[in-house]
Structure 1
Amino acid sequence: MDVDEDALEYHEQEPAGKLEIATTKPTNTQRDLSLAYSPGVAAPCRRIAENENEAYQYTAKGNLVGVVSNGSAVLGLGDIGAQASKPVMEGKGVLFKRFADIDVFDVELDESDIDAFVRCVAAMEPTFGGINLEDIAAPECFEIETRLREKMDIPVFHDDQHGTAIISGAALLNAVEITGKTLDDLRIVFSGAGAAAVSCAKFYVSLGVPHENIVMSDIDGILSEERAQAGDLNPHAEPFARGVEGGELASAMEDADVFVGLSVGGVVSQDMVRSMADDPIVFAMANPDPEIGYVEAKNAREDTVIMATGRSDYPNMVNNVLGFPFLFRGALDTRATEINEEMKVAAAEALADLAKKDVPDQVRDAYGDQPLQFGPEYIIPKPLDPRVLFEIAPAVAEAAMDSGVARTEVDLEEYRESLEARLGKSREMMRIVLNKAQTEPKRVALGDGEDEKMIRAAAQMEEQGIADPVLIGDERQVEATTIDLGLDFDPEVVDPEDGGHDGYADRLYDLRKRKGVTRREATELVQHDPDYFGSVMVEQGDADVFLTGLAHHYPSALRPPLEVVGTAPDTDYVAGVYMLTFKNRVIFCADATVNLDPSADELAEITRHVAALARRFDVEPRAALLSYSDFGSVQTAGSAKPREAVSILHDDPTVEFQVDGEMQADTAVVDGILDDTYGFSELDGPANCLVFPNLEAGNIVYKLLQRLGGADAVGPILVGMDDPVHILQRGDDVKDIVNLASVAIVEAQEN
């Protein structure tokens, strides 16, 4: 594969480059344009002229960062100039937007003079909420950042200096914990004395490493006081000159606990790693070739070598994208005047803590076979872990407020929830349900309790305070898997085969004795089929919720709950509902999993169920019964069913939600069609509850919307049961299990 050719093709595809400007307000009418520009724009201008801080309220300043460079030290390309640096700066903008929803203007300044560069950037303060300096050569970068921080009242952050420091600092905290070392006893050796190395060394001191325990080496050897006195050192590196004899990197590494490489590839040998102290920590971060290869370092010794690099093809990649988007997110949202040391330390500590938590399945899937469990091969989170945003940014925001640089206060719990919402509408909707679940946790029985995903889901339910989970399965196997997963979790386990559940067998026999089940068969079903065991458990009130189906086909997993728990009073039918979330819309689709060809009565009952479900998510239901016909435009048996179901619902005085049909799908979801053509409709806006005429249509449409329409799907949510029971889809991940449990817990609270 020719990476260069692929990259050139990637960048030149229309539109060229990687960024564009998009409008965030309607611009469809003359009125829209008059508000966006003349004459309406004068009103916010006057407000800002009276109070400059109102720019944060009336403009995009509060979510806009300037990525600024002169191209004097670009990646591994060196001084290639401002124009040639533009693809990199655009790329930085992509990362800001992708990981923290921050907008960026990239600014390439053809200016090498420090005074002129500082004047140019400082003059742009009215435009931006923060400045990210990028790829500026040392030692000029130190002075530029220092002077801009003094001049500007918004955060100024040179990522090449501080980004690596923060991420490697998080890795250091966890490596020290794993090896049993302590920060105040560490001996650290640096290879490299440039901007990143000096910033890392200073940051490690902020974390608790004694300044005198750090030795720094460059291409000419160890930084010594003798070299400093001779004027041989970068003045910013001089504080790390040691009162020792000059020497080479190899001598400095003898008995060192930590090696930090920010220099060039291949300067460290296996013998040098062997000379280090027990269980050495090796951060070889030169790119693209580290100071010593991952395999070579690991094979150099028989004890534990904790290894980190700057490469994505090995564990523990020190990647700046884990830092700068979330630092700026927290800084922007508190309108901080700067990004200070307290905020950087908070980011590193939060990253270190996140690495100790169970990793979501979507992250595991993205990284294939790499080990993603806290330990020597996983000491920092992965960049694609969505939790980094709502773990790091709140820590940064809190530090900004505590250290006095925030100009606005945020409620940290509400702030965390708003950050989750930035990751998608589904997270926003599920947060509503999770919050409700936390108010009154319930006892949740989990079939397939020996499955790794079920165990991890149970641990998350307990950690989030939404449930008291009960795993149905072999206790020894559950315990062994829990230990293997490294979970700090002591689950409650119920084993159907331990012979102590005769009461459940009696109850199952009583329920099914006239349906062909003998007493002996009832005992066997309870002992050997967790779906029957869990169903009886819920029916008897020993659990409030039952989830199953992870390892079974949906119909076979649904049968035991239907036979044992049955439908709710005054309910004849159950249905499967998917909640589909788009960027600015949520819809509930029913029935997608249960009823093959529902009658008009069934469609009416399914509609009642889906409307009640929508209200659990604080969505006021507007239900549309779908067809290929619009309000009688086609007269067939197929279009008559939804039409009759709507009549049943309109005649029912207990129905207190908007419902109409039959109607085509676009009529239901496009506001203009209802208003312009069918003004008589009972719906006062686009439908959010779509009821399909049969299972085939419902299943096809929800999958198309999910795969081609970019919708996130939560479900299937089983509605109409007498007790909260949900059937998982085979292959569902831990997030799906926890989400369905939350929905079921809220349902149990209402029962």
Structure 2
Amino acid sequence: MGLDEDALAYHEHDPPGKIEISTTKPTSTQRDLSLAYSPGVAAPCEAIADAPGDAYRYTTKGNLVGVVSDGSAVLGLGDIGPLASKPVMEGKGVLFKRFADIDVFDLEVDASDPDAFVEHVAALEPTFGGINLEDISAPACFEIEERLRERLSIPVFHDDQHGTAIISGAALANAADIVGKDLADLSVTFAGAGAAALATARFYVSLGVPRENITMCDIDGILTTERAEAGDLDPYSEPFAQDRPAGDLADAMDGADVFVGLSVGGIVDEAMVRSMASDPILFAMANPEPEIDYEAAKHAREDTVVMATGRSDYPNQVNNVLGFPFLFRGALDAGATEINEAMKVAAAEALADLARQDVPDAVVKAYDDEPLQFGPEYIIPKPLDHRVLFEVAPAVARAAVESGAARRDLDRERYVERLEARLGKSREMMRVVLNKAQSDPKRVVLAEASDRMVRAAYQLADQGIAEPVLIGDTRGILRTADRLGLDFDPEIVDPTGVELAPYAEALYERRKRKGVTRREAADLVRDGNYLGSAMLALGDADAMLTGQTHHYPSALRAPLQVVGTAPDTEYAAGVTMLTFRNRVLFCADTSVNQDPDADVLAEVTRHTADLARRFNVEPRAALLSYSDFGSVDNEGTRKPRAAADRLRADPDVDFPVDGEMQADTAVVEEMLTGDYDFTDLDAPANVLVFPNLEAGNVASKLLQRLGGAEAVGPMLAGMAKPVHVLQRGDEVKDIVNLAGVAVVDAQE
């Protein structure tokens, strides 16, 4: 099937459309229903009647946006009317939810008269926390937005105007920096004088481009003062009329630093690009065909050409999804009464700054592993970069407060934590640990100097999570940092340039009765794993990470031999934290002990409970098997049963624990409190201890891949000093997360 047929099938598949309403509170009992509706619902109604602001406490108003259109200017389709625009408006709702966790009602209003449209939308103010106007033709869109902003005390935002302005504004700031030009000196030519072009030109003025440096062209040529005096321009375009001779787009582009296309495809040729000033900036944003093809623009000249389009198959896509979800997120969370110019500028500045930062591996993978590093081919973040939420929304909220548009202030650190929680429980859990780490950073040895390790070292230092120490060739590490554009001065321990004798002696003392001679110890400490382990053992570092380029067992060997397990501890354990939407599970052992006996299972349970508490989770442990409390009696079921008995009898164990039990018994409350009301667990278990390595590894990976869980780890518990072994496919964020866990281990 072609794209059209695929799209029709996509939208038709049951249920039709793309969005639905779902409940957020329990509705399974009669009491639930009495709270949700009659008679319980009277209480919040009365509270809101007495204090209207309480609508934000007791209803969805504070997270609900109305996407409103009359269908008069649907992108690429024109005036197709309100009903035909509904798929687009539903799609807008999908983007709000996907990128910023904002709920949407799409409203297609059959009102061609601006007065009627304004009245319809204004009457809906009690329903929504904000209004996103969409696909309304110019010049009516300007009047509608202005009048609604004046009448309503909630944010009103016409994305077709301001979205492109904000995203391209961020791109312009970075592009100008790359080519060494100041915004105040730029000569900018616009192709197009519609809603998006006019809003973008106004926004560029807010960013520092002089209005007199902007030349606009419509279908009739350059906007001149002569045309304005003749009544040829509307009140919205007239401010950009220039006192210059009439001419066409080619005349306007001659000598310009910047071309901004918001018109139609194919109207710019290579000769016009060659006529521009040195190192030109071209934003050809007509869709689906840009004003000039990416390849043609690049081919036109030999100097630097910074090019952006509206297409995803070329670098530097100007995509409105980088703006509106996060603008509304920050505005809603600050209780803003409007989205003003200061908030829009803050969004653009945050986007521009984010493009200069190291790009996460997950984003690179999402774009077919194409290189993403600040420069002419990467001047704005990618739409799938989750960090946009954490950077733009707080910047917008802060601007709302500082400009007087906010009803409430927000603590940035706590606000970012709330935003992270919207993207998944694992982010919320890791934020707890990373905040602890930042309160007292420790020296963490990174035993391998791969690209990802170097990038992780940069982030650890930049975010104040740890003091990273890289082991490897000094010149190679510095070249890597320079190639990746990482502006930091890493601490490096180079085995070829550091005195290794103390570390060799430490290794020898620990392994001399295990077959290691002094000469062999001297050779071994040239290996990053052994050198890092010896540094940790001697106190030259507080924690260690390894395993990025080794199989897990071989990476674990050196730390076990040199650092060893904690006092009164015989066995380390690998623990994987799995996070679901409303639940966290710590699974053990998923990487170390192949066939543990009852003593090992008991020890592993203690280690895992301790680890859970580092994430501020009070442990409830279940020893798992394929039977429940003696329903099957054999050697395999006796091990977890005996381990549970020993733990319950230990006065030092201060958390509930029980077993043996099946996995569903451990995690389903109705089974625990119903069939097995005698259990010591007062709620579903959050620490799951598997009977052997095979079961733990298989189950944790199935839960991750098929159950929708996000995984952190495996984290190594029970070592004498903090050591964590990475898996070879781990991304930079995984390294940073485990380093944070290691720092908290060291603190405690």
CA distance in 1, matches of 2:640, 2:498: 50
Alpha-carbon distance in 2 for matches of 1:670, 1:710? 17
Deviation per residue, 1:340-364 (Å, 9 max, x gap): 0000000000000011111111000
The aligned residue for residue 345 of structure 2 is 345
1:632 partnered with 2:648 = no
- For the pair 1:466 / 2:455, whether they are aligned, the reply is no
CA distance in 2: counterparts of 1:495 and 1:677, whole angstroms: 61
Which amino acid is the alignment partner of residue 571 of structure 2? Answer: Y
Residue of structure 1 equivalent to 2:742: 744
Residue matched to 1:17: 17
Which amino acid in 1 is paired with 2:56?
Y
Do the aligned residues in 2 keep the contact of 1:577 with 1:715 (CA within 8 Å)? yes
Question: Shift of the alpha carbon at 1:440?
Answer: 0.9
Distance 2:132 2:240 in 1: 26
User: Once the 2 structures are TM-superposed, how far is the Cα of residue 369 of structure 1 from its aligned partner?
Assistant: 4.0
Q: Is the 8 A contact 1:371 1:377 kept in 2?
A: no
State the partner residue of 1:492: 491
Alignment of 1:547-562 (within 5 A): 547-562=545-560
CA–CA distance in structure 2, aligned partners of residues 435 and 658 of structure 1: 28
Check the 8 A contact 1:118/1:147 in 2, yes or no. yes
Does 1:155 pair with 2:148? no
Amino acid at match of 2:745: E
1:279 touches 1:306 (CA, 8 Å); kept in 2?
A: yes
For 1:520 and 1:413, the matched residues in 2 are separated by 52
Distance 2:75 2:129 in 1: 25
Contact 1:323 1:347 in 2 (8 A): yes
Counterpart for residue 139 of structure 1: 139
Q: Does 1:454 align with 2:453?
A: yes
Is 1:623 equivalent to 2:618 in the alignment?
no
What is the distance in 2 between the residues matched to 1:568 and 1:421?
34
1:706 alignment partner, one of 704, 707, 715: 704
Q: Which residue of 2 aligns with 1:604?
A: 602
Corresponding letter in the other structure for 2:379: I
| Local SS of the residue matching 1:57 | helix
- Secondary structure at the counterpart of residue 722 of structure 1: coil
SS at match of 1:496: coil
- 2:517 is matched with 518
**C-alpha distance in structure 2 between counterparts of 1:499 and 1:194, whole Å:** 65
The match for 1:438 is: 438
Matches of residues 224-235 of structure 1 in structure 2 within 5 Å?
224-235=224-235
Q: Deviations over 1:64-110 (max 9, x none)?
A: 00000010010100000100000000000000000000000000011
Q: Which aligned pairs between 1:64-463 and structure 2 lie closer than 5 A?
A: 64-449=64-449, 451-463=450-462
Structure-2 residue corresponding to 1:673:
671
Q: Secondary structure at the match of 2:20?
A: coil
Q: Structure 1 stretch 293-302 or stretch 231-240: which is displaced more?
A: 231-240
The residue matched to 2:84 in structure 1 has which SS? helix
Displacement after TM superposition at 1:498 (Å): 2.7
> Following TM superposition, by how much is the alpha carbon of 1:412 offset from its aligned partner in structure 2, in angstroms?
1.7
The residue identity in structure 2 corresponding to 1:461 is: L
CA distance in 1, matches of 2:137, 2:736: 48
Counterpart contact for 1:315–1:370, Cα < 8 Å: no
Equivalent position of 1:720 in the other structure: 718
Q: 2:538 aligns with which of 531, 540, 544?
A: 540
2:579 maps to which of 578, 581, 595: 581
Look up the SS of the partner of 1:83 in the other structure.
coil
**2: distance between equivalents of 1:379 and 1:554?**
38
Name the amino acid aligned to 1:561.
P
Find the aligned partners of 2:501 and 2:532 in 1 and give their Cα distance. 14
User: Which residue does the alignment assign to 1:682?
Assistant: 680
CA–CA separation in structure 2 for the residues paired with 1:234 and 1:599: 83
Deviations 1:567-597 (A, max 9, x none): 1000000110000000011000000001111
Letter in 2 for 1:709: G
Aligned to 1:394, the other structure's residue is in SS state helix
1:259 CA drift (Å): 0.4
Asked whether the 8 Å contact 1:631–1:643 carries over to 2, the reply is: yes
2:472 aligned partner, one-letter code: G
The one-letter amino acid of 1:270's match is E
Decide whether aligned partners of structure 1 residues 471 and 262 sit closer, same or farther in structure 2, where only a CA change above 3 A counts: same
> Matched residues in 2 for 1:612 and 1:442: separation?
20
5+ unaligned residues in a row in structure 1: which ranges? Answer: none
The 2-side partners of 1:731 and 1:51 are apart by 54
Structure-1 separation of matches of 2:677 and 2:381:
53
Q: Does 1:592 align with 2:613?
A: no
Q: How far does residue 313 in structure 1 lie from its aligned partner after superposition? A: 0.3
State the alpha-carbon separation in 1 of the partners of residues 511 and 52 from structure 2: 74
Write the distance in 1 (CA, Å) between the matches of 2:104 and 2:498: 64
Cα distance in 1 for partners of 2:564, 2:496 equals 25
Q: What is the CA distance between 1:490 and its match in structure 2?
A: 1.0
Deviation string 1:379-429 (CA, Å, 9 cap, x unpaired) is: 000110011001100000000000111112211221111111111100000
Residue type at the aligned position of 1:571: T
Point out the more displaced range, 630-639 or 509-518. 509-518
Residues 324 and 499 of structure 1, relative CA distance in 2, 3 Å threshold: closer
Alignment of 1:555-574 (within 5 A): 555-574=553-572
CA distance in 2, matches of 1:500, 1:614: 39
Distance in 1, Cα, partners of 2:310 & 2:260: 12
Give the aligned partner of residue 611 of structure 2: 613
Percent of aligned pairs with the same residue?
Answer: 72
Report the secondary structure of 1:493's partner residue.
strand
Provide the residue aligned with 1:731 in structure 2.
Answer: 729
Q: Which amino acid is 1:465 matched to?
A: G
Q: Secondary structure at the match of 1:54?
A: helix
Look up the SS of the partner of 1:350 in the other structure.
helix
Map 1:472-483 → 2, pairs under 5 A: 472-483=471-482
Structure 2: 5+ residue stretches without partners: none
Aligned residue type for 1:665? A
CA offset digits 1:470-506 (Å, max 9, x no partner): 1000000000010000011111111112362111112
Q: Could you say what secondary structure the match of 1:21 adopts? A: coil
In the alignment, the residues of structure 2 paired with residue 499 and residue 385 of structure 1 have an alpha-carbon distance, to the nearest angstrom, of 40
Q: Partner amino acid for 2:408?
A: T
Q: Distance in 1 between matches of 2:193 and 2:277?
A: 23
Aligned-partner SS, 2:496: helix
Amino acid at match of 2:461: E
Q: In the alignment, residue 739 of structure 1 is paired with which amino acid?
A: N
**CA distance in 2 between partners of 1:658 and 1:253 (Å):** 74
Partners in 2 of 1:201 and 1:674 — Cα distance? 64
Aligned positions of 1:32-51 closer than 5 A: 32-51=32-51
Q: Secondary structure at the match of 2:283?
A: strand
Query: What residue identity is the alignment partner of 2:651?
Result: P
- Letter of the aligned partner of 1:706 in structure 2? Q
CA RMSD of aligned residues (A): 0.8
The alpha carbon displacement at 1:519 in A equals 1.4
Q: Alpha carbons of 1:499 and 1:340: their partners in 2 closer, same or farther (altered >3 Å)? A: closer
Change (3 A) 1:456 1:643: same
Give the secondary structure class of the aligned counterpart of 1:748.
helix
Give, in angstroms, the shift of residue 234 of structure 1.
Answer: 2.8
Question: How high is the TM-score relative to the length of structure 2?
Answer: 0.99
Cα drift, residue 323 of structure 1: 0.2
Conservation of the 8 A alpha-carbon contact between 1:624 and 1:668: yes
Distance in 1 between residues matched to 2:105 and 2:644, nearest whole Å: 52
User: What TM-score do you get using the length of structure 1 for normalisation?
Assistant: 0.99
